Amino acid sequence: MPAREGTYGLLAEFDTPGDLVRAARKARQDGWRRLDCYTPYPVEEAAEAIGFHRNRVPLLTLIGGLMGCAAMFSMETWISVLAYPLNIAGRPTYSWPAFIVPAYEWTILFAGLSAAFGMLALNGLPSLYHPLFNAPNFRDGATTDKFFLCLEALDPKFDLRETKAYLESFQPVSVVEVEY
Amino acid sequence: MATSEVKIKDPGIDPATGEFRVIAQDETFRSVTEKIARIVLTPTTPLGWFALFVIAGAGATVLLVAVAWLFLKGVGIWAITQPVAWGFAIINFVWWIGIGHAGTLISAILLLFKQSWRNSISRFAEAMTIFAVVCAGMFPLIHVGRPWLGYWLFPLPLTMNVWPQFRSPLLWDVFAVSTYATISVVFWYIGMVPDFGTFRDRAQSKIGRYMYGILSLGWRGSVRHWMRYETASLLLAGLATPLVLSVHTVISFDFAVAVLPGWHTTIFPPYFVAGAIYSGFAMVLTLAIPLRKFYHLESLVTERHIDNMGKVMLATGFIVAYGYGMEAFMAWYSASHWEAFMFWNRMFGPMGWSYWVLITCNLLIPLTTLWSRKLRTNIPFMFFLSLVVNTGMWFERFVIVVTSLYRDFLPSSWGTYRATKWDYLTFVGTLGLFTALFLLFVRFLPMIPMNEVRMLLPSAKIKPKAVTEAGD
């Protein structure tokens, strides 16, 4: 990643999830689009407040599951019919009911791996560095008991002084500038 | 209930519901985080941990010796021969994997049913699953006789051009157990990622910050991330639920597909799954009761958890009882001479004692006492009961494997079974390995999911009024 300079955004700290959701909802209503909330546990109301309603993890999971099922079933068919046909008590080589169980297991295997790794990929993880880790109060609170709202400098409405005053109007615990 | 009125002064009981609280009063986000994180992030390890680790490590060493000797001499050092070719290895395999199933039940099925009380026990139940699967998975591998050829089980494009036979439940087992192990590890790790983030931010030592920093993958708690994370967790839970049912079903097929009296029955899949959950909850109790005491986690793993686990055991215990009853009924109703003899032999034959141990441990003791709320919340009693049920479930597998095999159709081919010292040492060794792995988990990983416990606290509730008053 190319080194970026300047301000990443302004970070407001709140004590309760209610204060955070109220501030986030207001900011979104006032036209902010480059904003994010940081919480120590999933706060669904905050995601809705910043307009994040749907994600593509279920789609990835479905695709993965179908691929796993198709891969195993066709492999079983190929092995049993063409590659290594065995006569087991006179049963047909294409004895598909017996193939269901491994195909079922691989549906779950591929779907589960797609859900887990798809979620990480969509989240852009792993990424061990992030500008927010530079904020002095972020690491003490964001994974323990504090709730943060970040208005990012990439938003066209961003102006260091005005935005700071805007965030102060929500009566946060503190507002700090985050550098890249 | 009459008892609840008497005990309502107990601070552990919520007066609104009359139930025990899931989390004790007066806990805050910071206090639960501190309570869980300090166990791992402390620079001093308690002496008791070392003492236990030495004992468990000695057990694991016994396993190493037993397996090394097995590889040198072959499976002849065990008691398995004709007619009992399945002995301890398969008994232990089924017992261990059954124990694992309660972990998945707690972490996945109870999540889907929105049983939020399970949040504080889900992580170590899941860890129990993984370590139980480690112990279980080893047995079929060392039982095949030539474990270095174990890779023949997988459909690999080898130079010999030989492929596996997909009509055998034993091969289905390979896919069921390997999928189960993989999905359990992934579910477990994904669940820990946010907690690793907490550890990264709270660790005092440089190496701790570094290691947990890498493990946390840079988790920073963005709500966008959280929402995808929640979706993925829910999907994984939804996938693990049919998976866990299928795993023990496939294992029961290993028996039920054979034509042997005592095995060839359609009751096996549900009866195996219920038995697995029964023994698994017993193992969760065996682990949870000393843990909460030793690490002072009584406010997070409360009487509510012990009580609820007792109730689940009562329910699954009755399904298991139905299974036993149905086996006896079918032995008579099928009018099959072989079935009837098998059952008579199981109860009153030379190894009949094992059947009565099983009935005592699985039915007589638990199913009469678990009705009482007083006993369900009596911690020493529940610990004792968990050991009883674990013993009973081991004997259930012993009864199924050995007493069905040793006297089948032809009296001329009857035999007997007497486990050797290597059988016992291998079993004791896996107990040691399991305990050692669990102790390492408790010392280095978050054993209670901090992010999920935070959601249970009253301060996590958002009042709708507080949110809207300034906005719309």
Which tens digits make up the pLDDT trace of B105-133? Answer: 888 888 888 887 888 888 888 899 999 99
Does the pLDDT at position B62 exceed 90? yes
Question: What is the predicted ipTM?
Answer: 0.92
Specify whether the CB–CB gap between B398 and B354 falls below 8 A.
Answer: yes
Alpha-carbon gap: A36 to the closest alpha carbon of chain B (Å): 7
Does the pLDDT at position A133 exceed 90? no
3-state secondary structure B205-236: CHHHHHHHHHHCCCCCCEHHHHHHHHHHHHHH
Nearest to B385 by CA among B400, B398, B399, B372: B372
Whether A43 contacts chain B with CB within 8 A: yes
Average pLDDT over residues B65-70: 92
Percentage of chain B lying above the pLDDT 70 cut: 95
Whether A39 contacts chain B with CB within 8 A: yes
State which residue of chain B sits closest to A26, comparing Cα positions. B471
Question: With contacts defined as CB-CB under 8 Å, which chain B residues touch A57?
Answer: 228, 231-232, 235
Residues whose CB falls within 8 Å of the CB of residue B254, separated by 6 or more in sequence, listed in order: B169, B170, B173
Specify whether the CB–CB gap between B433 and B134 falls below 8 A.
Answer: yes
Which of A16, A37, A41 to mutate: most B Cβ within 10 Å? A41
Whether A113 contacts chain B with CB within 8 A: yes
Model confidence at B179, in pLDDT bands (50, 70, 90)?
very high
Which of A43, A66, A73, A143 to mutate: most B Cβ within 10 Å? A143
Model confidence at B204, in pLDDT bands (50, 70, 90)?
confident
DSSP tag of B470: S
pLDDT digits (tens, 9 = 90+) for B230-289: 999 999 999 998 998 899 899 999 888 888 888 888 888 888 889 988 998 999 999 889
Residue in B167, B179, B230 nearest the CB of A98:
B167
pLDDT, residue A1, reads 45
Residue in B155, B200, B219 nearest the CB of A79:
B155
Q: What is the pTM of this model?
A: 0.88
pLDDT digits (tens, 9 = 90+) for B75-105: 888 888 888 888 888 999 999 998 988 888 8
Residue in B179, B226, B471 nearest the CB of A25:
B471
Q: How many Å apart are CA A105 and CA A95, to the nearest integer? A: 17
Does the pLDDT at position B464 exceed 80? no
Asked if the Cβ–Cβ distance from A130 to B218 is below 8 Å, we say yes
Does the pLDDT at position A123 exceed 80? yes
State which residue of chain A sits closest to B197, comparing Cα positions. A143
Specify whether the CB–CB gap between B215 and A94 falls below 8 A.
Answer: no
Does the pLDDT at position B22 exceed 80? no
Q: Please, what is the average pLDDT of chain B?
A: 87
Residues whose CB falls within 8 Å of the CB of residue A80, separated by 6 or more in sequence, listed in order: A86, A93, A94, A95, A99, B165, B166, B167
Model confidence at A4, in pLDDT bands (50, 70, 90)?
low
Q: Cα torsion for A72, A73, A75, A80, to the nearest 10°? A: 130
Question: With contacts defined as CB-CB under 8 Å, which chain B residues touch A38?
Answer: 220-223
Average pLDDT over residues B191-199: 90
Specify burial of residue B206 (Cβ count, 10 A radius: 0-12, 13-18, 19+).
Answer: exposed
pLDDT digits (tens, 9 = 90+) for A68-91: 999 999 999 999 999 889 888 888
Alpha-carbon gap: A168 to the closest alpha carbon of chain B (Å): 14
Asked if the Cβ–Cβ distance from A57 to B231 is below 8 Å, we say yes
Please work out, in degrees rounded to the nearest 5, the angle formed at the alpha carbon of residue B27 by the alpha carbons of B26 and B30.
Answer: 135
Kindly report the length of chain B: 472
